[in-house]
Structures are given as structure tokens and as C-alpha cells.
Structure 1
Amino acid sequence: MALVKKGVSRQDAHEEIRVLSHQASASVKLEGKHNDLIERIRATPFFEPIIGELDALLDPSTFTGRAPQQVEKFCGPEGDVEKALAKYRAEGIEEKVGDIIL
């Protein structure tokens, strides 16, 4: 989509990524190499308009949306999980899940 914002056809961008991803996939599956898709993108002139933005575009934190806040609200000290467990704790019932005692 970053390429589209720069005036590149969405279909052309998709095709370039598809071709490179198939090449990278074949390299992994047939040659046992690591997935070098990002390196292939960086080396392809087609992607020149966004090369400077690539690291930011690939930052995983930009794909999480409100998940961190939602988890904190749900699992935090006043969250739904604590409220649901409160009645069991009041009855002296605790359960160990992994290394966590509920």
C-alpha cells in the first residue's frame, strides 16, 4: 500500500511481491536457505520509492493496533480475568497454570 501511495499500481506491486516471495520460498524449500524476501525487495529497483520507509513498514508494533491496551484492560488488576477469578479465590480455590498460580 505504501507503493500505491507513491503512485504505483496496486496490481503491479502485488505481482512484484508475489514473484519475489515465490523465489524466496523456493530458496527456502528447495535449497534450505533462509527466507531472504526482504533482501530481495531491497535489491529490486521496483521498490526504490519505499526503500527508505521499509524498516518502519515492517515494524511489527505497527500491526498490533490496540491489542496491548486491550490485554491490559482484560488481564490487568481490575480486568475481567481478575473479576472472574475473584469468586474462586474467595472460596480458597487456586489453580496452577504453568508457573502462574491463579
Structure 2
Amino acid sequence: MQGERRATLILAPAGAGWRVSLKGGSSPTDGAGAAADCEIEAEGPLNGRTIDARVVPFEGTNLSVSAQDLAARPAGVKVDLTPQGAIVSTDFQGCGVGADVTGRYARAGATPS
């Protein structure tokens, strides 16, 4: 797999914490045999400049995750906030091979550095 991957990160207040919504996947240059897009929904607290979130059950456009799925294979998402955007890492294994939502996210309207 090669090429630049495109993904979207949305952070929204959720009770005492934050809702982390990720959607993205493989690069268009990977061709027709590449994995479909992936989605992840997680919630967790903001500690300093880091959101440590647990993946929560959700019904997505391309993927759905149940409480039963997460009981068998719990997963987390870490979002390190920077002035330019965020750095995301996750141990979620529900995405297809080649679909990747980890990495750097530029703040909407910001010029990538």
C-alpha cells in the first residue's frame, strides 16, 4: 500500500469528555483491491493536550461495531492535540487491511507544515 491517505477527525464535547469520530481509509492510488474506508467512534476525557478515548458501539456508514464486538476486542484511540491539529493513534483492529486512520491531522483551514 502506498500514497497519501485521507481521513477526517471530528472532536465534539460529550458529557464530561469528548467524542472522537474518525473516518478514512486507504489511498486512491492503492487501486480497486484496497480496503474500504474505516470508521471509529470513541469517547474519553481530555487530560492536558491528550484525549484518551475508548471505542464505543456505533452504527456507521461503512462499519458498525457492537458492545459484543468490543467486549471481545476492546480498543482505544489517543488524540494528541497540537497547535496545527492532532496526532492520532489507535489499536482498533476492525478496519480492513490497508485502511489506516492513524497519523497527523491538520486543523481545518490550517496550512499543513
Q: Scaled by the length of structure 2, what TM-score is found?
A: 0.25
Q: Per chain length, whose mean CA-contact separation is higher, i.e. which structure has more relative contact order (CA < 8 Å, sep 6+)? A: 2
Higher-helix-fraction structure = 1
TM-score, length-scaled by structure 1: 0.27
From the CA coordinates, give the structure whose radius of gyration is larger.
1
Larger % of strand: which?
2
